Amino acid sequence: MKHSVSQLAICGGPPAFPSKLPVGQLNLPAREDFITIFSKLFERRYYTNHGPLAQQLEEKLQQLFSVRNVVLMTNATIALSLACKALPFKKGDRIIVPAFTFAATVQALTWAGLEPIFCEVAPRSHLITPKTVEPLVLLPGVKGILGVHLWGNGCEVDELQQLATAHGLTVFYDAAHAVGCSHNGRPFGGFGTCEIFSFHATKIFNTAEGGCITTNNDNLAEKLRNLRSSYGRKKNIHIEISGNGRFSEAQAALGLLGLEKLTEYCTSNRKRMNAYMEGLHEIPGIRLLQPSPNEKHNCQYVVLEVDEKAFGLNRDQLVQVLETENILARRYFVPGMHRCPPYDTLFPQYADTLPLTDTLCKQVMQVPSGEIVTDDAIREICELIRFIHIHAREVRERL
């Protein structure tokens, strides 16, 4: 615990934590389970090409997501790109997408020759809504909506589907953050024409790299299996160009182990989220995004908004102070995709049309969560944030 500003690491004091506390889940299976499953994998000497573990994992995930088809992919970036290729779009079609998202969401459209139409999000939820999408649906060339269930919270899927159906659009979702979450009491996986999940190491369900596409449309699933590679397809479908989105047996082994502990991980993340809520309570200028109490939630991201005026420092300054204390808070997403190359020069018309997105890009950050973050660490992080607020003027002067 710091008692004076001069004890902060920015002033030369020792950091609050001796080693770095990253954001990200970084879950690990038990060593014995890892050895058992990998020994069998090595005995079989069958390492990829939709092997037995990948097949088993697809079946288990179909149950988890309550969906007819799970098509495993190398990672969510590849999955998004292949989904954009498999859906009934043609080159140059325009797709409505939030600018407040990870680069891969928008870049997948570009990989498939589609054009993003950047859409505003709602300030409290950070999600696109029928209200933010509606003004864009009649623009020439619009053929789809790519929603993002950011932070594991669901877009208004029924209302967006109605809007899409009324205008002949295809709606699909980037659900990279949503493994283990539900929306309106239903697990993610069956919303829209398809949904895309990430199993990156920083996510709650971790296959080191990994991801999948879920869909109840059997024809789309078969097209995706053909696009992924010839292995694992059920019939040969003619496609313009195939790719390699294969999911290795090593990834599947990690996935099968992680799946067994998913509920446990969600429960301990929820406890950590509650500890942050308690610790950050009533710090002026700090808002913690809370998952709906009525839904299942993975609580893998602890997301804060920093209001500079009320807190005394802006988000970037707070991140800087925390980083020097070995708390690797992360800024998401900076800048918004409408301001990133190549989109800033290709589509300069969006520069001044997304004020809420621009505000969130300046205010949103994540703080460490995941297995390695103890209750004591959370208490210390929260106390430090409170201390920084109380001494904001002095801290600003020392930066």
Reported as type and span, the H/E element at residue 70 is: strand 69-73
Does 81 engage in binding with ligand T4K (CB under 6 A)? no
The reply to whether 105 sits near ligand T4K by the rule CB under 6 A is: yes
Does 148 contact ligand T4K by CB under 6 A? Answer: yes
Determine if 170 is a binding residue for ligand T4K (CB under 6 A): no
Structure tokens at 57: 């994992």
Nearest to 308 by CA among 369, 388, 368, 367: 388
The sign of the CA dihedral 7, 12, 14, 20 is positive
Residue 148 pairs with which residues in a beta bridge? 174
Residue 249 tokens, joined: 């047996």
Which H or E run includes 375?
Answer: helix 375-390
- Show contacts with ligand T4K in window 274-333 (CB under 6 A): 328, 330
Closer to ligand T4K by Cβ: residue 94 or 177: 177
Shortest distance, CB of residue 328 to ligand T4K, whole angstroms? 4
| Residues 186-215 close enough to bind ligand T4K by CB under 6 A | 198, 200-202, 211
In the chain the first and final C-alpha atoms are separated, in Å, by 20
Q: Which of 172, 191, 195, 169 is nearest to 93 (CA)?
A: 169
Q: Is the peptide bond before 333 cis (omega within 30 degrees of 0)?
A: yes
Q: Which stretch binds ligand T4K (CB under 6 A): 22-30, 124-132, 241-249, 266-274?
A: 22-30
Strands in 69-73's sheet, in edge-to-edge order, are 69-73, 211-215, 195-198, 170-174, 142-148, 94-98, 115-119
- The sign of the CA dihedral 333, 337, 338, 340 is positive
CB 293, min distance to ligand T4K, A: 23
Buried b (16+ CB within 10 A) or exposed e, 354-383: beebbebbbbbbbbbbbebbeeebbebbbe
- Asked if 24 interacts with ligand T4K (CB under 6 A), we say yes
Q: Which stretch binds ligand T4K (CB under 6 A): 17-25, 280-288, 312-320, 346-354?
A: 17-25
Report 344-383 residues binding ligand T4K (CB under 6 A). none
Minimum CB distance to ligand T4K, residue 22 (Å): 3
- Nearest distance from C-beta of residue 150 to ligand T4K, angstroms: 6
**CB nearer to ligand T4K: pick between 126 and 389:** 126
Number of chain residues interacting with ligand T4K (CB under 6 A): 22
26 forms part of the interface with ligand T4K (CB under 6 A): yes
Cβ nearer to ligand T4K, comparing 272 with 391: 272
Give the Cα separation of 199 and 247 in Å (integer). 11
The minimum distance between CB 362 and ligand T4K, in angstroms, equals: 17
The reply on whether position 104 binds ligand T4K by CB under 6 A is yes
Tokens of 100: 């407040």
User: Of 102 and 276, which CB lies nearer to ligand T4K in the complex structure?
Assistant: 102
Stretch that binds ligand T4K, among 23-31, 89-97, 187-195, 335-343 (CB under 6 A): 23-31
The residue within the footprint of ligand T4K, chosen from 100, 102, 151, 172 (CB under 6 A), is: 102
Smallest separation (angstroms) from ligand T4K to the CB of 239: 22
Question: In the sheet where 302-306 sits, what is the strand order?
Answer: 286-288, 302-306, 364-367, 330-331
Binding mask 57-76 for ligand T4K (x = CB under 6 A): ------------------xx
Q: Does 101 contact ligand T4K by CB under 6 A?
A: yes
Which listed residue (8, 9, 29, 77) binds ligand T4K by CB under 6 A? 77
Minimum separation from the CB atom of position 78 to ligand T4K (A): 7
Say if residues 364 and 121 touch (Cβ distance below 8 Å).
no
Smallest distance, Å, CB 198 to ligand T4K?
3
CA distances from 158 to 134, 163, 192, 239, 378 (A): 14, 9, 9, 31, 37
Is-contact 189 195, C-beta < 8 A? yes
Q: Which residues bind ligand T4K (CB under 6 A)?
A: 22-24, 26, 75-77, 101-102, 104-105, 148, 174, 176-177, 198, 200-202, 211, 328, 330
